Amino acid sequence: MATNESTPIRAGASSVPYGHVIGSDKWRGTELAQLLQGKVKLVFEDGLGLVDFHLPKRTCILYISESDLVSGSAFKRRLVRFRKACNLSSIVIVEKTRLSDQYFPPVQNFVVLELGMSLLPVTNQSEAAQLIFHLVQERSKEGNSNPFILKKRSQLSEPSILQTVQKIPGVGKVKAQQLLLYFPSINQLANASVTELETAVGRGIASQVHSFFRQTQ
Amino acid sequence: SFMKVHPPGSSANDKALCILTDSREISSGPEVISCLKNVHGVKVQVCSLGGCDYIVSNRMAVERKIQSEFSNSANRSRLIERIQHLQNLFERVCLVVEKDRVKPGETSKIFQRTKYYDSTLSALISAGIRILFSSSQEESAGLLKELALLEQRKKSGIIIPTEVKGYKQEALQFYLTIPNINYLTALNLCHRFESVKQMVNSSVDVIANLAQVNPQKAEEIFRYLHYVFESQMLPSNNNVKRKQ
């Protein structure tokens, strides 16, 4: 897509080494940059376009200050342009202060629900520095140490199947095991005829099981 | 004729927005529920969801956490367990962090941001959990409504009846024991298949379509229904060695 405006995203900034942050030149000398500098390797670059900070693992930070929020909707256009320009995962950090508090709910709806980006409120630059530090830490971890990322573990199905079969009216634990001895899968059990079921359990239960699977409304 | 109701998405607009909530929320978030009903006109169905606060669509669960509880590191393992549980059951998980209530006459405490708070937020975002911040139960209700609306626009809204009557109650209890299946998927199975037998005999594609789950989940369900049970594999029979 050809555009005569400056590039919204700096090419190549998608790969940032672990423990590093690439910050837009405009943040040089700010409180946020000073606080961050001692904790991560912060490199300034110009021409980052719409992005304030690039973090490892293709993560971008877009920062909305208190005055951005209060002074109108220019920041919205910036977010929309970013969203259209790239598919890097992005976190919007917003200064939610006593002054800007009232603007927060609609901004949250816009950023999270409409644009599908993550939004994290801070009250000042010092909190933002702390938060960015943790975001970098999280993105610099090796392996799968994030407890919220699901690790697929194979579970035995037997205990669940026994539970499932016991939900058929009239079937307790003993009858469930008897049924599964003859019809070892739920599919086979569902397709068994009354006569076949009678070989495993008594006539009454056989017909209850049979009709449970076939009942319609 | 498998279909007893309209195909997904077709009747989304002529029905009121519907949200399922766990019965425990009646005591912990009474204003969320009354606000959803009275201010937003949402149909709220209270069920026993077992470890899930709200279901706003076929694929999305919403967990509501009070800020002081969320930011207390003593609750870490409980939070992890809960989120993992929801990740197992739902394609999308959303967390609403709600400010603590201020009782009349009390001044609101200043929230002290901690390392634990920031690192937890970072990890949740990395894991793809959506996070929303709310200042009150009323605001949380508004967020739940917005989420349900958004999911409805994406053709994932809850459009099946949420009440279950007659033999279908037995079928629902049966479906709910399928591992990693959420309450709404079980409801879909109940309402969209004519009989349990028909469901059990369905292909992966049909399950995916009628249960409104992704192909992986449909395959997981299919495999479970065809899994060959071996009683030696039950935990009580652990002394029997497994053949390699």
Q: What is the pLDDT of residues A164-215, one digit of tens each?
A: 999 999 999 999 999 999 999 999 999 999 999 999 999 999 999 999 999 9
SS3 B156: coil
Question: Nearest by CB to B131, which of A118, A156, A167?
Answer: A118
At A42, give phi and psi (nearest 5°): -100, 120
Of B43-57, B107-121, B203-217, the one with minimum mean pLDDT is B107-121
pLDDT at B7 over 70: no
CB contact under 8 A, B178 and A185: no
Position A17 confidence tier, pLDDT thresholds 50, 70, 90: confident
> What's the pLDDT band for B231 if we cut at 50, 70, 90?
confident
pLDDT band at B130 (very low <50, low <70, confident <90, very high): very high
Residue among B123, B142, B166 minimizing CB distance to A148 = B123
Neighboring chain B residues of A108 at a CB cutoff of 8 Å: 132-133
List strand residue ranges (DSSP E) for chain B, in order: 18-22, 43-47, 54-55, 60-66, 92-98, 130-134
Q: pLDDT band for A89, please (50, 70, 90 cuts).
A: confident
**Rounded-to-integer distance, Cα B56 and Cα B159, Å:** 11
**Over the stretch B39-66, which tens digit does the pLDDT of each residue have?**
999 999 999 998 899 999 999 999 999 9
Q: Phi and psi for B11 in degrees, rounded to 5?
A: -115, 25
- Report whether A52 contacts A23 (CB < 8 A): yes
Contact B75, B45 (CB under 8 A): no
SS3 B58: coil
Contact across the interface for A147 and B123, Cβ inside 8 Å: yes
Rounded alpha-carbon distances, angstroms, from residue A172 to A201, A202, B106, B163? 11, 13, 54, 26
Residues A23-69: tens digit of each pLDDT: 999 999 999 999 999 899 999 988 888 999 999 888 899 999 999 99
The percentage of chain B sitting over the pLDDT mark of 70, rounded to a whole number, equals 90
E strand or H helix at A191, and its extent? Answer: helix A186-191
pLDDT band at residue B205 using 50, 70 and 90 as cut-offs: very high
Element housing A42 (H / E): strand A41-45
Helix (H, G, I), strand (E, B) or coil at B219: helix
Contact between chains at A146 and B179 (C-beta distance less than 8 A): no
ipTM for the complex?
A: 0.89
Q: Provide the token pair at A200.
A: 């495993």
Q: Is residue B91 within 8 Å of B185, Cβ to Cβ?
A: no
User: Would you state the pLDDT for residue B244?
Assistant: 37
Least confident segment among A87-91, A114-118, B123-127, B182-186: A87-91
Q: What pLDDT shows up at residue B108? A: 73
- Does position A153 have pLDDT exceeding 80, yes or no? no
pLDDT(B202) > 70: yes
CB A28, CB A53: distance < 8 Å: no
Predicted confidence (pLDDT) at residue A119 exceeds the cutoff of 70:
yes
Residue B4: pLDDT over 80: no
Handedness of CA A192, A194, A198, A204 (dihedral sign): positive
| Confidence category of residue A14, pLDDT binned at 50, 70, 90 | low
A150/B87 touch (CB, cutoff 8 Å), yes or no: yes
Residues in B touching A196 (Cβ below 8 Å): none
pLDDT over 70, % of chain A: 92
Beta-carbon contacts of residue B162 (< 8 Å; ≥ 6 apart)? B18, B20, B43, B45, B47, B187
Higher pLDDT, B239 or A117: A117
**Chain-chain contact of A167 with B173 (C-beta, under 8 angstroms):** yes
Q: What is the pLDDT of residue B2?
A: 47
DSSP string, A74-118: HHHHHHHHHHHH---EEEEEEE--TTTGGGHHHHHIIIIIIS--E
Residue B191, classified by CB atoms within 10 Å of its CB into exposed (0-12), middle (13-18) or buried (19+), is: buried
- What confidence tens digit (pLDDT) does each residue in A45-54 have? 888 889 999 9
